[in-house]
Amino acid sequence: MSENGERGVPDMERPPEGLPQADRVGEGMGVPSGWDRPADLDKEPALIPDPAETPVPDELRAEIEAMMARYPDRRSATIPALLAAQAVHGWCSPEALRQVAAVMQVTPAYLSSVASFYDMLNEKPVGRHHVYVCTSVACHLVHAKRVYDAIAKEAEETGLEDTEVRQFECLGACDMAPMASIDGRFVGPLDPSDAHEIVDSIRDGRKPLPGRGLEDSDYRLPWGGRA
Amino acid sequence: MALNELRLLKNINDPELATIDGYERFGGYRAIRKALLEMDADEVLHELEESGLRGRGGAGFSMGKKASFLPKGSMEKYLCCNADESEPGTFKDRLLMQKNPHLLIEGMVIAAVAAGANRAFIFIRGEYELQAEVLDRAIAEAYDRGYLGERILDSDHSVSLVLHRGAGAYICGEETALLDSLEGKRGNPRLKPPFPANQGLNQGPTLINNVETLCNAPAIIERGAEWFKSVGTEKSTGTKLVSVSGNVRRPGNYEIELGMRAGDIVHGLAGGPPEGRRVKCWFPGGSSAPVLTEADLDLAYDFETMAEAGSMLGSGAIIVVDDSVPIVGVALRLAEFYRHESCGKCTPCREGTNWTVKMLERVDTGEATPADLDTMADVQTNIIGNCLCVLGDSMAMPIGSMIEKFRDEFEEHIERARRSNGGLPMAAHGGIADEAIGSPAA
């Protein structure tokens, strides 16, 4: 029995011996890991940070304060503020959450509850660059998985750092399928042979696949249409 | 039946259209002059109701009626534009926001006047970074020129507009989840009633409309409800943007008259499936719509006919699946999507999506039996109508329709996967659906 167990709280971290553990939460579900573990009753809850004791970069503070002013209720600025903090820190680190909490005067736990819900907010350091390969239904029909596999393989084999390569749900660009969002730039239709150029351009800090991004003025779909 | 005159997509590829000067040159911002200076709020609302414009986000509810549900009188009321376009297969709002942002802004001012709201928000999905930049610029331009802000065009109406970026969650397209997210919380749907028209954002009365719906408002005010109704069917008035994707030769957005033959969209406009292949099935309204078959392409594409055929027009996203694609792979990808996007609040959806994925994986690897298909169909039935929102239903309906219409293929798939694995049960091989795409139909 662990300390918690002695206090009447079952120790969920260690399964009882001999009993198979049901896999309740599938991979990719929106349920944060550890959701079924009991709270650590010995730990003090994190309070709203004291602004005087929590240094926040001036620019980030100004950005969050400006966001709060745009809404009838300051808490509406939570998601934009977390996105801004993530841009500074690279991820929603405990420090990033503390800084946002100090400016917004909310608890870090509240921010964590929000950050754990949204796909674009990361509670783990996944890298500053993001390659979201859409593998949702429309892209699936035109072999998106092959594109994802090729990019993931190329990134791994060449040791691409500071970059998150992941499958993503529909990005709203099914006319460009199969497509990916590379640091927000929508490119497509992609072929597994594009993986090399995509990974290279991220490493070199170049814009990937010039002329093949939705934002490019000369962008055309392969059949000649405009997206 | 080709459209004589494009309405929403007129001049869409002119780069000038995204600027305020270009938009005005093409006749933009005339409708808000009329709405603010020549009409009173009730007349604006009446015109929208009279037009028969139905919501273009998925539910197809009358836009004017929805606006009329907001209580009258002076109080803090809100307008939210649902620009969270995340329904797989849907990419029409992306096009409108990127290439004609001022049309949306003008439509929002008109809707705000009709509903008596003076604070407006655009909730745009976080992944649409380019579109958010375009809209931010356009909103700043509109403020500069006095189309937004205090006492617009010296009228009594004031409308402020804030662009709010989401952070990646399909569920936030559900209107009450959108409100929670906009309030800075996890995007969990709320119990209804109360409906947002009575208690929405920060408990205030709130009107929520899709991008395309709002983009229809300026022309209705400028040219009148009668003009709007001159195309479409009696109950599905006006034009509709359809996003065609999947196994077609010319994927893209097309503006059509509601009531057009579905086959003319899929084969005529979008070029049909690649050479030598046939349409196996198609989703008429995004991935949440039950699938229809090739024979159904003869139906008229409008709200009523799609509903009568057992499906829905939804967001107007047609996804075409050709006969080279195993249906099990499509079902699995679909179920995985809804499992990932379920917010976890209601048990039937949270557990139902998870178990459906697991059962489909077993079908794909040949570990299932035909009896499991009945269990799976049963799970779908038990999700529908039992949750706070329709996310679970959105998986249950298409999956249920696939099992019903392609039962033979599901059974053959189980058998083929089992044999390809040497008849071994419970083997941890990856399934056969993915490898089979693009190969000739079995």
User: Does residue A164 contact residue A125 with C-beta atoms inside 8 Å?
Assistant: no
Strand order in the sheet with A163-168: A163-168, A129-134, A180-182, A185-187
pLDDT of the residue at A17: 62
**A–B: how many Cβ contacts below 8 A?**
184
pLDDT tens across the length of chain A (227 residues): 344 444 444 555 555 566 555 555 555 565 666 777 888 889 888 899 999 999 999 999 999 999 999 999 999 999 999 999 999 999 999 999 999 999 999 999 999 999 999 999 999 999 999 999 999 999 999 999 999 999 999 999 999 999 999 999 999 999 999 999 999 999 999 999 999 999 999 999 999 999 999 999 999 999 999 98
Q: Cβ of B183 and A77 within 8 Å?
A: no
Alpha helix (H) residue ranges in chain A? 3-6, 58-69, 78-89, 94-104, 108-115, 137-140, 144-157, 195-204
pLDDT of the residue at A1: 38
User: Does residue B148 contact residue B20 with C-beta atoms inside 8 Å?
Assistant: no
A140 interface with B at CB cutoff 8 Å: yes
Find, among B242, B252, B209, the residue nearest to B84 by Cα.
Answer: B209
Find, among B104, B52, B44, B113, the residue nearest to B77 by Cα.
Answer: B113
| Chain B residues 276-305 with a CB less than 8 Å from chain A | 283, 287
H/E run at residue B50: helix B41-50
A18, exposed or middle or buried, with CB in 10 Å at 0-12, 13-18, 19+? exposed
Q: State the Cα–Cα distance between residues B93 and B212, nearest whole angstrom.
A: 6
Find, in chain B, the residue whose alpha carbon is nearest to that of A178.
Answer: B246
Per-residue pLDDT tens for A85-94?
999 999 999 9
- List of chain A residues whose C-beta atoms are within 8 Å of the C-beta of residue B169: 30, 117-119
Q: Cβ of B186 and A113 within 8 Å?
A: yes
Give the residue ranges of chain B where pLDDT is below 50. 1, 426-427, 438-442
pLDDT of the residue at B440: 39
Angstrom CA distances, B290 to A47, B88, B359, stand at 48, 13, 19
Q: Which residue in the set A78, A79, A138 is minimally distant from B245, CB to CB?
A: A138
Give the three-state DSSP class for B120: strand
ipTM of the complex: 0.93
Q: Omega of the bond prior to B205 within 30 degrees of 0, cis?
A: no
Q: Cβ of A29 and B245 within 8 Å?
A: no
